[in-house]
Amino acid sequence: MMQNPRFNNALAMIAHDGAQMTDDLKQMLEVDTCFPPGNGYGAFADVMTHLLAPLDFHFARVSVPEHLWQAPDGSAYGERVNLLASLDAGAAENCNLYFHTDTVPAGDGWRFPALTLTAAEGKLFGRGAADMKGTIVAAMAAVRAAQAAAIPLRFNPVFLLCSDEEGGLYPGIRYLAEQQLFSGHLLSFNGGAVPRIWAGCFGSIDLKVIITGRSAHSGDPVNGINAIEVALPMMNALYQLKLEVEQRTSAMPSPPHYHGKPLTSLLTLAAAQGGSKGSTIPERFELLINRRYAPEERFDAVWQELTHCVESAMRDSPALDVTLQMIGHLAPVANPDGPHWPRWQAALSQGFGFQPSEFKPWGSSTSSDMGWVQQAGIQEILLGGLARPDNRIHAADEYTTLADVIALSQSILAYLADDFQPTQGN
């Protein structure tokens, strides 16, 4: 699409800004913001304040009260610092650029140091490179190019750098939205480098069940209560519930790789921990259950069904105690369509080279903290990001590429810039 020389100059600046982008990403990846526990948000806010201050942003730190986010299992700790960085560009409307600053834990199996940046094989490796610190780098580069090229902005950019998307009970963006600490529409970067019109996503519940038995010598188990073995009826009941739950379909359009099959509700026995050695009857057993529920399902009905299944299966158990703890919850996202979507699609086409005909609406049974934003009254949520099927998000050797960071940055510049004029059909 034809644009004026000033805008094209800014696009070229982004294309040649790779060294600064790489350095910015390096600084971000070296701050450990893994959740759990999520103890690095304050340090990350310090780094972002240092990086954004030269661009004339103004800052506000907002911490989520501890009683809202503290999970009963104690897996989360540290101040939940959310940084709001605002740039007054003289525009009449704000655009809130949402980023979650936490990552999943590094995990095992890395060929490169997980919590630093490694440029190798034409890729940028590190935990959070794609999900989603690399998207912050792209947004910064877009603002930097706009300022260098003296491009007026259509929207005042507000960076919302938020806590606890990867888990927990009370994501930072939920608190900011409920407290009405930002205004205007929202652009979330928790998506992918694909021509997608977001049609929403499922909710997610993490339920931990803790079963207490009585330890004893496995060779002389008199009076012992094996916590793992007494949990077997519960696990069998949950598996039967899983088979029932996963027959329930959603009207939400499914992703392309489903090849026309519908999205379904999901139940996963996600983690099991108990026992220490063969000579001891295990006294404690923990089971983590994840339940993905569609926007058509009501949370209270889903929760009641899940907890009733556990409680019924354990009602006549010899276990000394059965404790249920909800340690994570994300609300589903209903259709987030709105008036800004056509411009964002055109901006993505500018950066990534997508054709208008490639854009398709589809949802996902993965989850997002944007559901809480909708419940707070903000319906329209744009979506973009760096995720691709092969860049190992949440796995060892997570990576993005400089080409994708540049393309996303050019898309963000186009969306924000008043000089960007989408042509007919875009």
- Which pLDDT tens digit goes with each residue over 260-288? 999 999 999 999 999 999 999 999 999 99
What is the mean pLDDT of the segment spanning 400-413?
A: 98
Number of domains within the chain: 2
On the question of pLDDT at 146 being above 90, the answer is yes
Q: Could you tell me if residue 425 is inside a domain?
A: no
What is the mean pLDDT of the segment spanning 145-171?
A: 96
Edge-to-edge strand ranges of the sheet holding 321-330: 266-274, 284-293, 203-212, 321-330
How far is Cα 17 from Cα 203, in angstroms, rounded to an integer?
38
The reply to whether 339 and 318 lie within a common domain is no
User: What is the predicted pLDDT for the residue at 107?
Assistant: 94
Q: Could you tell me if residue 109 is inside a domain?
A: yes
User: What is the predicted pLDDT for the residue at 52?
Assistant: 98
What is the mean pLDDT of the segment spanning 53-81?
A: 95
CA proximity to 141, closest of 13, 280, 271:
13
Q: What is the pTM of this model?
A: 0.91
Q: Based on the number of CB atoms within 10 Å of its own CB, is 315 exposed (0-12), middle (13-18) or buried (19 or more)?
A: exposed
The reply to whether 158 and 226 lie within a common domain is no
Torsion angle of C-alpha atoms 108, 109, 111, 114, degrees rounded to 10: -20
Q: What is the pLDDT of residues 364-382, one digit of tens each?
A: 999 999 999 999 999 999 9
The reply to whether 191 and 213 lie within a common domain is no
Q: Label the pairing between strands 81-86 and 155-162.
A: antiparallel
Q: Label the pairing between strands 185-192 and 118-120.
A: unpaired
The reply to whether 245 and 392 lie within a common domain is no
The reply to whether 175 and 218 lie within a common domain is no
The reply to whether 225 and 321 lie within a common domain is yes
On the question of pLDDT at 176 being above 70, the answer is yes
The reply to whether 26 and 165 lie within a common domain is yes
Q: Where is the domain boundary, 279, 296, 330?
A: 330
Displacement of CA 379 from its chain's centroid (Å):
18
User: What is the predicted pLDDT for the residue at 1?
Assistant: 53
> What's the CATH number where 79 sits?
3.40.630.10
User: What is the predicted pLDDT for the residue at 421?
Assistant: 86
The reply to whether 118 and 156 lie within a common domain is yes
The reply to whether 217 and 324 lie within a common domain is yes
Per DSSP, helices labelled H in 149-298 are: 172-178, 227-230, 232-245
How far is Cα 162 from Cα 63, in angstroms, rounded to an integer?
10
* DSSP characters over 302-364: HHHHHHHHHHHHTTT---SEEEEEEEEEE--B-----TTHHHHHHHHHHHH---GGG-EEEEE
On the question of pLDDT at 9 being above 90, the answer is yes
The reply to whether 338 and 222 lie within a common domain is no
Torsion angle of C-alpha atoms 31, 37, 42, 47, degrees rounded to 10: 10
> What's the CATH number where 292 sits?
3.30.70.360
The reply to whether 144 and 235 lie within a common domain is no
How far is Cα 157 from Cα 159, in angstroms, rounded to an integer?
6
User: What is the predicted pLDDT for the residue at 322?
Assistant: 98
Structural domain of residue 309, as residue ranges? 203-330
User: What is the predicted pLDDT for the residue at 4?
Assistant: 87
Instruction: Quickly state the pLDDT bin for 2 (edges 50, 70, 90).
Output: low
What is the mean pLDDT of the segment spanning 38-48?
A: 98
Q: CA–CA distance from 200 to each of 216, 322, 349, 385 (Å)?
A: 50, 35, 21, 15
Q: What is the pLDDT of residues 26-39, one digit of tens each?
A: 999 999 999 999 99
How far is Cα 98 from Cα 159, in angstroms, rounded to an integer?
6
How far is Cα 241 from Cα 289, in angstroms, rounded to an integer?
12
Q: What is the pLDDT of residues 290-329, one digit of tens each?
A: 999 999 999 999 999 999 999 999 999 999 999 999 999 9
The reply to whether 148 and 275 lie within a common domain is no
Percent of the chain with pLDDT over 70: 99
